[in-house]
Amino acid sequence: MNQEPETDRIASSLKHIPDVGVFLTWPETGENAFHPEDLKLAQEWIPSDRIFHRPTFDGTYYQLYYGKESIRMKPSLWLPIADEGFRIGDKVEVPSQLMKNEPMVATIIEMRYAQAQSVIKYTLLNHDMPTPRTYIAEELTLLSQRHELLHSDPEVRIQPPPVNPNDSGISLTDA
């Protein structure tokens, strides 16, 4: 039986991040799947229908975000979901769509996976109140721009030019 080395398996899984997904069941490795400092929050969040954003892997743990909060988790089985481009905290517009929706500008406060319909349902905050209904991606237009941090390449280093301690930067010449 040809078994893939652990490093090759991890490297091939990294080709798929950043991505989004859901943990509908508790991880197969139990509490050991989580960083010890994140276990309490993980027990509150998992299992659930929350949609997690998984942007990075440090060699041991994935960083899983739900809004601004995050947990660290070792590679584990999860249900990948198609990324619709929205995140918790994004400003969105809800157009009326021929009077189907009440038009508004709101902020996404929850992202939940509706397994029966295989869609993400978004709860919005409008005028400091959660909306009474949830929305799907086709009903939303993203207004805010998200600037994801790019990780620098450790091989590339920019060095400033050497400074001559006797050089003040002012040049005087005799006329």
Average pLDDT, the chain: 84
Whole-model pTM?
A: 0.72
According to the model, what pLDDT value does residue 55 have?
A: 95
Q: What is the mean pLDDT of residues 20-48?
A: 97
According to the model, what pLDDT value does residue 149 have?
A: 46
According to the model, what pLDDT value does residue 54 have?
A: 95
List the domains of the chain with CATH numbers.
6-81 (2.30.30), 91-142 (no CATH)
Q: Is 98 left (phi over 0), alpha (psi -120 to 50) or beta?
A: left
Tens of pLDDT, residue by residue over 75-92, are 999 999 999 999 999 999
According to the model, what pLDDT value does residue 1 have?
A: 46
How far, CA to CA in Å, does 78 sit from each of 42, 48, 54, 73? 14, 11, 11, 11
Helices (H), the chain: 6-14, 39-45
- Going across the sheet that includes 91-94, the strands are 129-130, 119-126, 104-114, 91-94, 141-142
Whether pLDDT at 16 is above 60: yes
Tens of pLDDT, residue by residue over 132-167, are 999 999 999 999 776 554 444 455 555 666 666 665
Tens of pLDDT, residue by residue over 91-130, are 999 998 777 778 899 999 999 999 999 999 999 999 999 9
| Three-state secondary-structure class, residue 145 | coil
